[in-house]
Structure 1
Amino acid sequence: MNTAAGTGGKLDGDDLMNQEMDEALERRLIELETRVAYQDDTLIKLNQTVQVHQRVIYQLETRYETLLERLRMLLDHRENSSEIPNEKPPHY
Structure 2
Amino acid sequence: MSLKISIVPDDKPVRVTVELPAGVHRDLVAYGEALQRQAGQAVDPSKLIAPMLARFMATDRGFAKAKRGGEAPVKVRGAQAG
TM range (shorter): under 0.3
| Highest RCO, 1 vs 2 (Cα 8 Å, sep ≥ 6) | 2
- Structure exhibiting the larger radius of gyration computed from Cα positions: 1
TM-score by length of 2: 0.24
Please state which structure has a larger fraction of its residues in helix. 1
TM-score by length of 1: 0.22
